[in-house]
Amino acid sequence: MSSSTVANQTRADPSRFPRTRYQGSKRKLAGAILAELRNLEFTTVLDAFGGSGAVSYAFKRAGKQVTYNDILAFNHQIGLALIENDTVRLDDDQVNAIGIRHTGVEYGDFIERTFEGIYFTDEENRWLDVAVGNIRRLTCPYERAIAWFALFQSALVKRPYNLFHRCNLYMRTADVQRSFGNKASWDRSFAEHFRVFAAEANAAVVDSGGKCRAICRDALEVEPDYDLVYVDTPYINRSGVGVDYREFYHFLEGIVRYDEWPEMIDVDSKHRRLARRSDPWSDADSCHDTFRRLFERFRDSILVVSYRSDGVPTVDQLAGMLRDVKRQVRVIDGPSYQYALSTNRRSREVLLIGTDSAA
């Protein structure tokens, strides 16, 4: 995935994609991934585990007909805002009105009541309850999705580690010398952050000429009718520990499902996470069979898998599974790439490409 090759892929340049604090995001790698697919013929694409939307966005900019899929409701809103949406933007009046209480509107207080002292200050929790109420009142699904996106990013940038995996508000509020973290971002108001991220999302809206859409399903239940399927599943390291995105971003999932949120929470957890549920993609014992089922389901498509060199299953095992359904399998050893907050400096990006003819 050489830089010179990527530079030539101007149509697929994902540089307009907003900054993301999403763990495992391929924002910086999306151009290189598409460069490796330049000799393949395909029009329709399924991004089966859409996540931050960075790779879907690169495919969209390249003129492909993209279906962004993610099982999480908050990620689905990202797909609606930046992949399915071709023309709709939030205007300044709408942006400025999000955090303001409006006469005659009844606002909830679930965040203020439930998350005191956990992630945000009392004042910030009240602002979030109001913002959620106003976003839910937006009638256009794409305006609403852009507003959700800006709210997600605003919440992430004010969090130590950009996650909701533990109660650590004290890291922001303690009067101590700091060796890490961006206190200026933590202290900036939600309203300020929201304006910035809404502008970034607005700037990323593009009509590529291809019909794109966003769906919210289990990848194993999506209909297999695509020229190419891109797979970037939750990552399980060599120790068998998986990344649980629902756990890391449970607060964002709850925001989007505000009415259901009270019934979804594990009330015994200190940081009010969602009640846990099994995920075969994050389970070292079940993920092998789940990969096989996915590859079999989409065996008639070009299969492209983003992976890490120290993952479970191993790269060789994945390549073997692909060879069970595809005639040609290429394994491309990409650059060393250390994700934000990761201490793993030995793992490398790997791209596996399965086709029925030589690429």
**pLDDT 10s digits, 183-226:** 788 889 999 999 999 999 999 999 998 899 999 999 999 999 99
Query: How many domains are contained in the chain?
Result: 1
Q: What is the per-residue pLDDT for 235? A: 86
- Give the span between the Cα atoms of 52 and 99, in whole angstroms: 24
**Residue 2 resides in a domain:** no
Q: What is the per-residue pLDDT for 75? A: 97
Q: What is the DSSP string of 191-218?
A: HHHHHHHHHHHHHH----SS--EEE-S-
**Residue 144 resides in a domain:** yes
- Give the span between the Cα atoms of 12 and 67, in whole angstroms: 16
pTM for this entry: 0.90
Q: What is the mean pLDDT of residues 245-251?
A: 95
Confidence of residue 286 (pLDDT cuts 50, 70, 90): very high
**Residue 173 resides in a domain:** yes
Q: What is the 3-state secondary structure (H, E, C) of 97-120?
A: HCCCCCCCCCCCCHHHHHCECCCE
Rounded to 5°, the CA angle 125-248-253 comes to 55
Q: Is 225 exposed, middle or buried (0-12, 13-18, 19+ CB in 10 A)?
A: exposed
pLDDT over 80 (residue 28):
yes
**Residue 321 resides in a domain:** no
Q: Is 223 exposed, middle or buried (0-12, 13-18, 19+ CB in 10 A)?
A: exposed
Q: What is the per-residue pLDDT for 40? A: 97
- Of all residues in the chain, the percent with pLDDT exceeding 90 is 73
**Residue 112 resides in a domain:** yes
Phi-psi region of 272 (alpha: psi -120 to 50; beta: other; left: phi over 0): left
Per-residue pLDDT of 94-106, as tens digits, reads: 999 999 999 999 9
Q: What is the per-residue pLDDT for 178? A: 61
**Residue 159 resides in a domain:** yes
**Residue 133 resides in a domain:** yes
**Residue 232 resides in a domain:** no
Give how far Cα 67 sits from Cα of 9, 64, 145, 223, Å: 21, 10, 16, 11
Q: Which domain holds residue 199?
A: 87-205+245-278
Residue 113's nearest CA partner among 125, 123, 101 is 125
Per-residue pLDDT of 142-182, as tens digits, reads: 999 999 999 999 999 998 888 998 888 877 877 666 655 57
